[in-house]
Structure 1
Amino acid sequence: MTQEQEYSAMRNNINMLGHFLGETISEAQGSDILELIENIRVLSRNSRSGDDKARSELLSLLSNISTENIIPVARAFNQFLNLTNVAEQYQTISRHHQDKTAQERSIQSLFKRLKEQNVPREQIVQTIEKLLVELVLTAHPTEVTRRSLVHKQVEINKCLSKLEHSDLTAIERHTIERRLLQLIAQAWHTNEIRTQRPTPFEEAKWGFAMIENSLWEAVPTFLRQLNDHAVEHFGYELPLDLTPVRFSSWMGGDRDGNPFVTAKVTAQVLQLARWKAADLFLSDIQNLVDELSITDCTAQFREKYGERSEPYRHVMKGLRTKLKNTLDYYDDLLADRLPKHTKEEIITQDEDLWEPLYDSYQSLTACGMRIIANGLLLDTLRRIRCFGVAFSRLDIRQESTRHSDAIAEITRYIGLGDYSSWTEDDKQAFLIRELNSRRPLVPRDWVPSAETQEILDTCRVIAKQPEGTFSCYIISMARTASDVLAVHLLLKEAGVPYHLPVVPLFETLDDLDASEEVMTQLFNVGWYRGVINNKQMVMIGYSDSAKDAGMMAASWAQYRGQENLVKLCEKLGIELTLFHGRGGTVGRGGAPAHAALLSQPPRSLKNGLRVTEQGEMIRFKLGLPAVAVETLDLYASAILEANLLPPPEPKASWRTVMDELSRSSCDIYRNVVRGDKDFVPYFRSATPEQELSKLPLGSRPAKRNPNGGVESLRAIPWIFAWMQNRLMLPAWLGAGASLRQVMKNAEAKATIEEMCHAWPFFNTRIGMLEMVFSKTDLWLSEHYDQRLVKKELWYLGQSLREQLAEDIKTVLALSGKGQQLMSDLPWIAESIALRNVYTDPLNLLQVELLSRLRQNPEKPNQDVEQALMITIAGIAAGMRNTG
């Protein structure tokens, strides 16, 4: 199928789904509403095509829309976008999909290239055995689609898959189309906006549902494919216990700025995770009971598990009983009841499941039944290694000052003075002394403040769990070595009996630049080197560094920081794992996964990849089993390639130019965001930032400090707000202008052109800018200003749009693509063009609704408020990588 035929197939699916939505709207709201919606859609399409008359009519129509029509119109375009996204996501896994770019990036393609380039087999095998893709699912508040609607969208995908068969009878086709119509009607009659903000416990349930509905199937499928490719190209079979894929979660563990994540919530989420793991493994074991009716086994197996006519079935039935007990046990705990089973009667460790299943595998293989062993039994073994009986490991995250405040409260109480006023050297000396001490620091009868009690309670929850339940303890806004040592001391005081990795998260520009010095100080502490076993994880922050300094300066600081840490750890013989706190958007480090990984500093992925998957990107990249398999393949391929065919070390001339670009872009960015006295009032009026806090997205408040200004605003709502008005300022401000400034020098211009072609890091940044520019819209952004911003502030928006227009020209000239953004990625360009037709009316409607609400803020109209929330959700769906 040619690319044009694929576009045609996708458009046909979109048209069919749109037609069914039209039928639903007509039946539910009446033909007059459907006619109004269709008129808006046609005007929007013509407006996008450059018809000024259509644009004027569209503006007039939406500016004068009646209050009773705003909700159905907003809902219609929101649903159109959701269905467009469903059709587009399906197309990527359609049996007819032929994405050459994706094929070139696959593991299959990489293995062919490695053979052609005569890379030694032993080196390839060693690299595969060290492969680790660890995705950390987070509940960052940009997933605007409710779980009930996500489920219906998955079902729509299944229907599209069935319709792709060419041998359907007329009755079969009619049945599938009828089911599609039912699903679309169900979605229409479901409130797309949550009425209440989700709790952290509900967020965890959403994350667990993603694992259950997609990843549980995807992981063994991916590993089977990886094994088949390795056998085909190198005659190498993956070891049974190899774990190249792992999942962790922040849902129920991330308490940074979220007062609703408490020690009690964390304990409940851990119980729910074990219940869910038992439930899914029980299903697998029940199927194995049905499958393994075989009588032959080895003498060793019979000796270990007893003389039985159906030995494997006997073992599976024993596991089935234990798993049922495990479900009952955690049911009781979650309901706050005394468990009727003891710990001895349930499954508590991975080995409880692994050992009998591994023994069964070995016996079946030895008895000539390898084909049976490599079926569901192998899949279950791989699920045990990937997910385990804890289901997904949990990260704890807390802000650094919460720990130092807790220790200061302790030192004041026991008469040692105020820890918070000590120098860094004094803090380190005290912490090291206490870490080496055998006596407790915290008095037993002491009653601390609620904040300190919560920190101590969290550490006690960790202490009660077996090793491996938690991945690590992350310190956000880490700035000093004492920040890390403080957490180790608090964990020691709580009685944690094992070493839990404590991970500093370096976020701002200054903190990234200082990261090497901080880690050097830590590694010079004898106690610290003794407990880490020469393994260290460091988290690199993308959101706050970009918010602090702009995209160009932040990305260079992240690169340099990683590079310095890699060299430091290599010098000291420490295995470094870099944990990337990326989001979906460019302003938060987002980029196509394959390109982003190949643009990392050389050797930075040699111990694997740990990366956050955030908000709506979890659903887009992992929400369907086939899509998740493709995502895992892409990640694994990029890591293997980065380690076996590493990117070039940047030349000295490239570094010089990047230093200059970084300084220049940071100055330009900060002069606007921090230096212009009108910037904050402009931001608050030109975007729906103030209204965003009313949208019940995630459990976490939008601000760290509810009384603070933009500086206290979280990176996600900061980016989300600019995404809504289509200016997308955080993702580009300073970047293009710095390029123009530096390229005035002919030598620097030649160097930048060389960097574009020869350096993946720089080339990827330019590609990311291009993608952002393709989603901006100067006219829509100007419309927000004219309707919502005071005239005396218009100059700022005008100046930013002029800079954006110049930046687009600069990037197009640099990439050599003439006048057309994304010309080398027509699939993405087509996708954006398709969604613009539905997103534009939501933008225009949003402006009208904001205007009406702000005219009478004391008495807001509930229908207008509800419609505004729907436009926010709809634009997020249209822009896709929103936060």
Structure 2
Amino acid sequence: MSLINPDVTPEKDFPLRDDIRLLGRLLGDTIREQEGEAVFEIVERIRQTSIRFHRDEDEAARTELETILNSLSRGRTNQIIRAYSYFSHLANIAEDQHHVRRSRAHAMAGAHAVTAPEPREGTLARALKLALEAGVSQEALQAFFASALVAPVLTAHPTEVRRKSTIDREMEISQILAQRDRYRLTPEEEAATEESIRRAILTLWQTSILRRNRLKVIDEVVNGLSYYDYTFFKELPRVYASLEDQLVEMSPTWQGVEIPSFLRMGSWIGGDRDGNPFVTADALRQALLLQSKHALGFYLEELHCLGGELSLDERYVNASEQVHALAKASPDASPHRQNEPYRRAITGMYARLAATAAGFGHDDVARHAVGEAPAYASVEEFLGDLSILHRSLVSNGSGALARGRLRRLRRAVDVFGFHLASLDLRQNSDVHQRVVAELFEKAVPGTAYETLSEEQRVELLLEELRTPRLLTSPYLEYSEETTKELAIVHEAAASHRRYGQASVPNYVISKASDPSDILEVALLLKEAGLLRSREGEMAVNIIPLFETIADLRNCSRVMGDLFALPDYMRLLRSRGQAQEVMLGYSDSNKDGGYLTSGWELYKAETDLVGLFKRHGVALRLFHGRGGSVGRGGGPSYQAILAQPAGAVQGAIRITEQGEVIAGKYSNPDLGRRNLEILAAATLEASLLHSEQPAPREDYLKAMEELSESAFKAYRSLVYETEGFERYFWESTVIGEIANLNIGSRPASRTNSRRIEDLRAIPWVFGWAQCRLMLPGWYGFGSAVKEFLEKHPDTGLALLQEMYREWPFFQALLSNMDMVLAKSNIAIASRYSKLVEDESLRQAIFPRVRHEWEDSIKTLLAIMEQETLLDKNPLLARSIRNRFPYLDPLNHLQIELLKRHRSGDADEQVVQGIHLSINGIAAGLRNSG
């Protein structure tokens, strides 16, 4: 059974075809052996019928498909769903491996070429080449690296459907495919590798895809930590090593220069309590403890291996006095190592690090130290000892040894510290308002904080911030909410004392709409000692998050009013005169639709750039992007370069959410590539695009017209059409998603079914599951049609020019091209039949279909394409490969939803729905 049409498979994709055929054959064999020939035959019959229906909405195929699916027993249905789900997962593995294969082929072609080929887009090599050609000096590059910050921030959200147990087996298959690809195997070795894959697939088949119980916050922390083992621990140091080596190739003056660690990791897992009641002070403490344990465990293992490697004998090579001092201080008294100062120094360092781990509460280190030693007082002290080894090796003719494991370990320690990843706190401004109101009321009864005007609140908060005394009292009782919020900031302060300030450096405020929202958090930080009024110092960045369309339009006013407060500017100076602002892609999209969300984000950034420049404040943007286009997803490289001029000032943070984390970072080669893309794009945007001219006035005017029309069309459907809320809940799996054990966070902020109260993530996820992808395109067709009616002679030419010349518009449309290609109106039409009220269905679905058709038609005209993805053959290939196995999952899901909603309470029906959700998410890859 093949996923690829051989007639349209280019030669370079033959290895991908072969891998998919191999994996498909082995999975097919497994299904036959485990479930019988009859099950496999049904799988194939459904696939063929689904292809006919997919191709042209063949009514005969629809009837045949429904007949097949209706005849399946509950148990047989789940077997079929599992089969298609695993086909999707295995196709993903093969595709990821092919990306790695093509990258290696490009690198090897360059190595053997007479003239060096152009470096690939999105690589640091290309970014450095462009910088060199643009005349960027070494001093400017060094200044960039010294102040830059690039941070992917891992988050846990309720679209992550993969279990670590299955990811581990998939990683095993990926590694075997890589070995087959890179080595010529004997027939015996070929048979052995195939047998290994067969065992891994059998294990997958016999392992539950689903979790029996809902994840706890700590489970999410542990899942997030696994990506450090897969990718971050080893690949991040390699990114730095490669960058430094490339700089030396550019100019020998870079020799010996160590680039500051500007590419670091962030996390929300265990600190994001906006709408998640399970994130408490204890959860925060446990998350930081687990992070620290993971980091120190890695360092201890690497030190052990380093000691095995550096067996240098002082009778043959010199060592510095500092190395001898470390060796002398070591508790290692073994006579076998008396002439090996490096080893004795390392065993002493191991003993100190083990003591440090024990001091943090990590009592179960893998290997015991050779003796007692004092703990390290800070990560800088540990890094200093590693640097002593490095300098001694380099100065005594052993520089090659310093460039191996020691180089990577030094970089890892510098990047990850004793805390591993910077953990952000996040909470909703409504909570802060209630807490602060209670604190004032307890201290000064009658304050009535919540009834005060914004000006009065700011005045009261500033007055309190100026005094060093605390507002809270240990002799008063507070509500449960206030007690929990105070406990969080006190735990953050404790983490600073344990692991350093980098452990919890940021506090994000959801729904920030006024300066008082920022000052309320400042007051809470003061209560924990994280803000010192007298000194004018703040130990945590306060970051407002602007999410809705109204918030985005209002953000420059809020920040301007904040910067007008001398007290706040004094605090900001203690943070290096830099202010971070977070922009929310998800809620703005749910609020106003894709086109308007993108445009309002762009305008907000432009306004913020100008405002910050006038106030002399450095701007750092934090992009709250999700995996789907409807939540800001899409290629990171193009997204960063499409930012307005000046928006990327050497610093950017980007959320990595849900199943996208596994897609980007479970494979180490792909993980390194994604990390490099973020660094390269930030360098290019900061040094090469920072002074680019503003878009032409007619571009801006056209975009404003398009946005206004798209906003009107989107709001008319989603918020002004009677019954649309019911249509959404009945035509998607949103109700079933809410009950799936795929995250610790509830799907809605309240018990309401209102779209306004629904989290943006399940909103997008629900539309993706039914293959309509509505948040990624709705309103575009109406907007363009209206624009062309107003400008019949010049409109299309202008939009085509905007697509060719304006990176923002280009990225906007390219992402829409992708999401429309993943949509399927035929399948969506079957989901619409789940809506019981036929008049409601007829009032909405034809309208949606018409907009879908108009959006595709107008998009193709502007992009000057014959079909979707004409300019993206890689994604077109991916869709062609996987959709024959994805579409049947939708059809099966529909039948199960019918059964479940008609009252069939059988556990197998519920399990089948959840299995189908998993499989569809895997096939789409960026659905949440």
Identify whether the pair has TM-score above 0.5, normalized to the shorter chain.
Answer: yes
Aligned pair partner of 2:250 in 233, 236, 261: 233
Candidates 464, 471, 481, aligned match of 2:494: 464
1:567 lines up with 2:610 in the alignment? yes
Q: CA deviation at 1:568?
A: 1.4
SS in 1 for 2:424: strand
Residue 631 of structure 1: aligned partner: 674
Q: Deviations along 1:164-184, whole A, 9 cap, x unmatched?
A: 245211110111100100000
Of residues 513, 516, 525 in structure 2, which corresponds to 1:491?
Answer: 525
Indicate how the Cα distance of structure 1 residues 291 and 441 shifts in structure 2: closer, same or farther if over 3 A, else same.
same
One-letter code aligned to 1:809 = K
Question: Within 5 Å, which residues of 2 pair with 1:772-851?
Answer: 772-795=819-842, 796-818=844-866, 820-851=867-898
Letter in 1 for 2:37: S
Measured after TM superposition, the shift of residue 592 of structure 1 is 0.6
With over 3 angstroms needed to count, the CA separation of the structure-2 counterparts of 1:97 and 1:40, relative to structure 1, is: farther
Q: Which residues in structure 2 correspond to 1:611-650 (within 5 Å)?
A: 611-646=654-689, 647-650=692-695
Write out per-residue CA displacement over residues 137-188 of structure 1, whole angstroms, 9 at most, x where no aligned residue: 0011212111100000000001101222452111101111001000000000
- Give the residue type in structure 2 aligned to 1:136: V
Work out whether residues 323 and 389 of structure 2, in 8 Å CA contact, stay in contact via their aligned partners in 1.
no
**Counterpart amino acid of 1:633?**
E
Q: Distance in 1 between matches of 2:748 and 2:364?
A: 31
- Give, in angstroms, the shift of residue 274 of structure 1: 1.2
Q: Secondary structure at the match of 1:244?
A: coil
SS in 1 for 2:242: helix
Q: Identify which range, 41-50 or 799-808, moves more after superposition.
A: 41-50
Contact between 2:119 and 2:126, CA under 8 Å: does it hold in 1?
no
| 1:310 aligned to which of 340, 348, 352 | 340
- Please tell me whether the aligned partners of residues 91 and 97 of structure 1 are also in contact (alpha carbons under 8 angstroms): no
Q: Is the 8 A contact 2:119 2:125 kept in 1?
A: no
Change (3 A) 1:699 1:659: same
CA distance in 1, matches of 2:909, 2:118: 44
- Native 8 Å contact 1:22 1:34 kept in 2: yes
Q: How does 1:370-385 map to 2 (within 5 A)?
A: 370-385=399-414
Amino acid at match of 2:746: P
Residue 12 of structure 1 is matched in structure 2 by 18
Secondary structure of 1:368's partner?
A: coil
Classify the secondary structure of the residue corresponding to 1:252.
Answer: coil
Distance 2:49 2:259 in 1: 58
* Contact kept? 1:131, 1:636, Cα under 8 Å: no
Tell me the equivalent position of 1:526. 566
Does residue 599 of structure 2 align to residue 581 of structure 1? no
Is it true that 1:677 corresponds to 2:722 in the alignment? yes
Name 1:126's counterpart in structure 2.
143
Following the alignment from structure 2 to structure 1, what is the Cα–Cα distance between the partners of residues 845 and 439? Answer: 50
Residues 761-792 of structure 1, C-alpha deviations (whole Å, 9 max, x = no match): 01110111110110111111111112444211
State the Cα distance separating 1:129 from its structure 2 match: 4.2
> Equivalent residue of 1:465, what SS?
helix
Q: 1:653 & 1:50 partners in 2: Cα distance?
A: 40
Once the 2 structures are TM-superposed, how far is the Cα of residue 38 of structure 1 from its aligned partner? 2.1
The question of 1:422 aligning with 2:440 is answered: no
Greater CA deviation, 47-56 or 263-272?
47-56
Q: 1:845 Cα shift?
A: 0.6
What whole-Å deviation, never above 9, does each CA across 1:496-526 have from its counterpart, x for those lacking one? Answer: 3652111000111111111111111211222
Could you tell me how far 1:45 is from its partner in structure 2? 3.6
**Deviation sequence 1:674-694 (CA, Å, 0-9, x none):** 100121111111111111111
User: Residue 631 of structure 1: CA displacement?
Assistant: 0.7
Alignment partner of 1:513 is 2:567: no
Separation in 1 of the partners of 2:238 and 2:10?
Answer: 30
Instruction: State how far apart, in whole Å, the 1-side matches of 2:422 and 2:509 are.
Output: 17
More moved, 282-291 vs 294-303: 294-303
Provide the residue aligned with 2:287 in structure 1: 269
Give the drift of 1:132. 2.8
Q: Counterpart in 1 of 2:99?
A: 92
Q: What secondary structure, in the 3-state scheme, does the structure 2 residue paired with 1:468 have? A: helix
Structure 1 179/333 Cα, relative in aligned 2: closer, same or farther at 3 Å?
A: closer
Q: Once superposed, what is the RMSD of the aligned Cα atoms? A: 2.3
Q: Which amino acid aligns with 2:352?
A: K
Q: CA deviation at 1:126?
A: 3.5
Q: Unaligned regions of 5+ residues in structure 2, if any?
A: 1-7, 107-116, 329-337, 532-537
Q: What is residue 781 of structure 2 aligned with on the other side?
A: 736
Q: What SS does the aligned partner of 2:404 have?
A: helix
Match among 916, 923, 927 for residue 871 of structure 1 = 916
Quickly say closer, same or farther: Cα 1:209–1:181, change in 2 above 3 A.
same
**Deviation of residue 636 (structure 1)?**
1.6
**Mapped contact 2:606–2:647 kept (Cα < 8 A):** yes
Q: CA deviation at 1:639?
A: 1.3
Range that drifts further, 844-853 or 702-711: 702-711
- Corresponding residue for residue 209 of structure 1: 226
Report the 3-state secondary structure (helix = DSSP H, G, I; strand = E; otherwise coil) of the residue aligned with 1:15: helix
| Cα 1:97–1:274 shift into 2, 3 Å | closer
Alignment of 1:395-406 (within 5 A): 395-406=424-435
Correspondence for 1:502:
542
If the length of structure 1 is used for normalisation, what is the TM-score? 0.95
Counterpart in the other structure of 1:351:
380
The answer as to whether partners of 2:144 and 2:650 remain within 8 angstroms in 1 is no
| In structure 1, distance between residues paired with 2:584 and 2:258 | 35
Distance 1:237 1:710, change over 3 A: farther
Matched residue count: 874
Deviation at residue 822 of structure 1 after TM alignment: 0.4
* Larger displacement relative to structure 2 (67-76 or 164-173): 164-173
- Secondary structure of the corresponding residue to residue 619 of structure 2: strand
Paired with 1:264 and 1:43, the residues of 2 have a C-alpha distance of 53
Q: 1:362 to 1:744 in 2, by over 3 A?
A: same
| Contact 1:648/1:759, CA 8 A, preserved across alignment | no
CA distance in 2, matches of 1:502, 1:33: 57
Aligned to 2:900: 853
1:182 aligns with 2:188: no
On the 8 A contact 1:253/1:261 being kept in 2, the answer is: yes
User: In 2, distance between residues paired with 1:210 and 1:166?
Assistant: 26
Amino acid at match of 2:459: A
Q: Is the 8 A contact 1:788 1:847 kept in 2?
A: no
1:284 maps to amino acid:
E
* CA distance 1:278–1:105, change in 2 (3 Å): closer
Relative to structure 1, the CA distance from residue 123 to residue 455 in structure 2 (aligned partners, 3 Å threshold; closer, same or farther) is same
Q: CA deviation at 1:422?
A: 0.6
Q: CA deviation at 1:98?
A: 5.1
CA distance in 2 between partners of 1:508 and 1:631 (Å) = 29
Which one of 429, 438, 441 corresponds to residue 471 of structure 2? 441
Contact 2:515 2:559 (8 Å CA) reproduced: yes
Q: TM-score, normalised by structure 2?
A: 0.91
- 3-state secondary structure, aligned to 2:505: strand
Partner of 1:408: 437
| Structure 1 CA distance for aligned equivalents of residues 518 and 687 of structure 2 | 33
Alpha-carbon separation, structure 1, partners of 2:569 and 2:153: 26
- CA offset digits 1:227-268 (Å, max 9, x no partner): 222222244357436112100110111000000111111111
Contact 2:148 2:262 in 1 (8 A): yes
- CA deviations 1:369-405 (Å, max 9, x no partner) are 2111111111011101111111111100011111110
Counterparts of 1:573 and 1:367, CA distance in 2 = 48
- Tell me the CA shift for residue 449 of structure 1: 0.6
- 1:604 aligns with 647
Equivalent position of 2:397 in the other structure? 368
| Residue 203 of structure 1: how far off its partner (Å) | 0.3
| Deviating more after overlay: 350-359 vs 453-462 | 350-359
Question: 1:70 aligned to 65, 68, 77, which one?
Answer: 77
Please say if residues 730 and 835 of structure 2, whose CA atoms lie closer than 8 Å, have aligned partners that are also in contact.
yes
Amino acid at match of 2:569: R
Match 1:301 to one of 316, 322, 344: 322
Preserved CA contact (<8 Å) 1:241 1:385: no
Q: Is the 8 A contact 1:348 1:389 kept in 2?
A: no
SS in 2 for 1:538: strand
Match of 1:192 among 202, 209, 225: 209
Distance, in Å, in 1 between the alignment partners of 2:680 and 2:671 is 14
Residue 407 and residue 803 in structure 1: after superposition, are their counterparts in 2 closer, same or farther (change >3 A)? same
1:280 pairs with 274, 277, 298, which one? Answer: 298
The 10-residue stretch of structure 1 (75-84 or 520-529) with the greater mean CA deviation from structure 2 = 520-529
* Alignment-mate amino acid for residue 92 of structure 1: H
